[in-house]
Amino acid sequence: MKIKFAGAARTVTGSKHLITTRNGKTILLDCGLFQGEDAKRHNYNKDLGFEASEVDYCILSHAHIDHSGAIPYLVKRGFKGKIYCTKATLDLCSIMLIDSAHIQEADLQYINRARIQKELEPVEPLYTIADAEIALNQFVGLDYNKWSKINDEIEVCFTIVGHILGAGAINLKIKEEGQIHTLCYTGDIGRNQHKIIKHPESFPQADYIITEATYGNRLHDNTSTTENKLLDIVEDTCIRKKGKLIIPAFSVGRTQEIIYALDQFETQGKLPHINVYVDSPLSTNATEIMRNHPESFNQEVVNYLKIDSDPFGFNRLKYIRNVEESKALNNSNEPCIIISASGMMEGGRVVHHLRNNISDKKNTILIVGYCAPFTLGNRIMQGVETIKIYGEEIPVKADIKILTEYSAHGDYQEMIDYLSCQDPLKVKEMYLVHGNYEVQQEYREKLLEKGFKNIRIPDENSEYLI
Ligand SMILES: [Zn+2]
C-alpha cells in the first residue's frame, strides 16, 4: 500500500492521511481544516491535496475541526463514500460541522459586503450549512473495540485514546495478496489525568503506526492541585473583588471540565453563593451530548454519579442560548462566573464579555486553553496593555490568570506510555504527524531510545510505499 500525508505534516492542523491499497482502494484518515496561520498558507483550504472523487472511504479519529472540518468540502467536491467514526464523534460532528459552516457563512457576509462596495466578486464559503447537512448523511457511527468490515479487504476497529469525547485510535487490518497488514493511526492522544472521559487504553499490535507529536518535547504540570487553584481564583474574583470571572473555553471538552469542577465544589459546599453562566449555544449542545454518553466516563465520574446524577448541572448554573439573555449579562453587575466560547477568543460571545469586562480591575479573565499565535487570546496571555475589539482600542485592567494544566493532548511521557503496549521490534515503520518539525525531531529521539525504529517525519504531500 501507499501512504500520502496531505496535511498536519510538520504542522499541527489540517490532518489528512491517504492510504491506497494495492487493489486501488483509497482510505482517507481524517479530513481536517488547516486553521490559523496554516489556513492562510493553504489558501484557506481550497486544495485538498488529492481528488475527492477518488477516495473510497473516510475514517475519522475525532470531532475536532482540524481533523473533521474539511469533510463537508470533501463531499461537496465529489466524495460519495461512507465516513466511519465512533458514535459520540458522530453526535459531536452533527453540531460542530454545522457550526463550522455557520462561522464561514457569517464571516463571509461581512467580507462580501466590503467586496461588493469595491465592486469585487463576492467570495464563496468553503461549504455551507446545507453542504454540512449532506455530509452528515454519509456518517456511520461504530462502537469501540469491535472490528467492522468495510469491504472484503479492509477492517476497522476504534480503541479508546482519551483526548476528547468520542476520540478513537483507528486500527486497520488490510488484506493484500493474501497477507494481512495492520496499521494504527492514533489521532490525538489524550491524558492519563483527564477529569471526565476514560483514559487511553492499549491497542492491537500494529505493523505500521501513524502518531501525533504535538507535545513531543514537553511535560505538563501535574493536575492534582488544579481544582484548588480554580477555587482560589473564583473566591478572589467573586468574593474579595466582587467582580466577574470570565473563562473563555473550547465548547467541547474544556467547558465540560470546568463545569464538572464547579459542580463538585457545589456538591462539597465549597462554591461561593454566585451564579454561573455557560454562554454559548455550541457549548450547551456539546454538554448535552456529553451527558448522553455516560459509557465514555472514567471511573471517578461513574463514582460521582452515585451522589450527583448530573455532573454538569446545579441550581445556580444556567445555560444561555438566546441572545437577549446573553446581552442581559452585560448590564448586570453581580459577581458571577461566565464560561463562554471561543477558547482562543477570536469569535463567539466571549468577545462581547471581554469588551465589557476586561477594562475593570475587579474582574478576572482566566485562560484555560491553548491560544495560537496571533489570536486575541494569545495577545491577552502575553500581557498586552491594550487590545483591539471591533475596531476599538480597550485598556486591559482586569487580572489575567492562566491555568496551564488543562490540556487535551498528552505530553511526551504520556504518549510514550500510550505506545508502550506495542512491541517496538514488531513495528516496521512509524510516522510522526501533527507537530512542529523541531518538536517532532526531539520526540523521534525519545522513541528511538524506546526501541522503535524507522521513524519518519513526513513532509506535506510526501508519499511512502509500504
Ligand atoms: Zn484534537
DSSP string, 345-408: SSSSTHHHHHHHHTT-TT-EEEE-S---TTSHHHHHHTT-SEEEETTEEEE--SEEEE-TT--S
**Residue ranges of the chain that CATH labels 3.40.50.10890:** 226-402
Task: Say how many Å lie between the CA of residue 15 and the centre of ligand 1.
Answer: 10
Could you tell me which residue, 443 or 108, shows the higher pLDDT? 443
Task: Say how many Å lie between the CA of residue 408 and the centre of ligand 1.
Answer: 7
Task: Say how many Å lie between the CA of residue 190 and the centre of ligand 1.
Answer: 9
The Cα–Cα gap between 75 and 83 comes to: 10
Q: Taking the domain 226-402, which CATH number applies?
A: 3.40.50.10890
> How does pLDDT run across 69-126, given as a tens digit for each residue?
999 999 999 999 999 999 999 999 999 999 999 988 888 887 888 889 999 988 889 9
Task: Say how many Å lie between the CA of residue 138 and the centre of ligand 1.
Answer: 22
Q: Which of the four pLDDT bands, split at 50, 70 and 90, describes residue 375?
A: confident
Task: Say how many Å lie between the CA of residue 385 and the centre of ligand 1.
Answer: 32
Length in residues, the chain: 466
Task: Say how many Å lie between the CA of residue 64 and the centre of ligand 1.
Answer: 5
> How does pLDDT run across 301-348, given as a tens digit for each residue?
999 999 999 999 999 999 999 999 999 998 889 999 999 999 999 888
> How does pLDDT run across 122-160, given as a tens digit for each residue?
888 999 999 999 999 999 999 999 999 999 999 999 999
C-alpha cell at 255: 467547558
The Cα–Cα gap between 108 and 445 comes to: 44
**Residue ranges of the chain that CATH labels 3.60.15.10:** 2-218+408-465
My answer on whether omega of the bond before 342 falls inside 30° of 0, hence cis, is: yes
Task: Say how many Å lie between the CA of residue 67 and the centre of ligand 1.
Answer: 7
Task: Say how many Å lie between the CA of residue 188 and the centre of ligand 1.
Answer: 5
Task: Say how many Å lie between the CA of residue 386 and the centre of ligand 1.
Answer: 31
C-alpha cell at 75: 463531499
Task: Say how many Å lie between the CA of residue 250 and the centre of ligand 1.
Answer: 11
Contact status, residue 134 vs residue 72, Cβ threshold 8 Å:
yes
For the chain, counts of helices (H) and of strands (E): 14, 22
Task: Say how many Å lie between the CA of residue 103 and the centre of ligand 1.
Answer: 19
Task: Say how many Å lie between the CA of residue 74 and the centre of ligand 1.
Answer: 19
The Cα–Cα gap between 174 and 284 comes to: 40
Task: Say how many Å lie between the CA of residue 170 and the centre of ligand 1.
Answer: 14
Task: Say how many Å lie between the CA of residue 201 and the centre of ligand 1.
Answer: 17
**Proportion of the chain above pLDDT 90, given as a percent:** 85
Taking all residues of the chain, what is their mean pLDDT, rounded to a whole number? 95
Task: Say how many Å lie between the CA of residue 62 and the centre of ligand 1.
Answer: 7
Task: Say how many Å lie between the CA of residue 374 and the centre of ligand 1.
Answer: 20
Contact status, residue 62 vs residue 83, Cβ threshold 8 Å:
no
Task: Say how many Å lie between the CA of residue 409 and the centre of ligand 1.
Answer: 8
Could you tell me which residue, 249 or 390, shows the higher pLDDT? 249
**Residue 19 amino acid letter:** I
Task: Say how many Å lie between the CA of residue 237 and the centre of ligand 1.
Answer: 31
3-state secondary structure 95-106: HHHHHHHHHHHH
**Residue 233 amino acid letter:** I
Task: Say how many Å lie between the CA of residue 343 and the centre of ligand 1.
Answer: 14
312 CB neighbour count, 10 Å cutoff? 19
Task: Say how many Å lie between the CA of residue 36 and the centre of ligand 1.
Answer: 15
Task: Say how many Å lie between the CA of residue 249 and the centre of ligand 1.
Answer: 15
| CB-based contacts of 244, cutoff 8 Å, min separation 6 | 237, 238, 335, 336, 337, 338, 353, 357, 362, 363, 364
Task: Say how many Å lie between the CA of residue 198 and the centre of ligand 1.
Answer: 15
Which pLDDT score is estimated for 346? 86
Task: Say how many Å lie between the CA of residue 163 and the centre of ligand 1.
Answer: 7
Topology of domain 2-218+408-465, CATH? Metallo-beta-lactamase; Chain A (3.60.15)
Task: Say how many Å lie between the CA of residue 264 and the centre of ligand 1.
Answer: 26
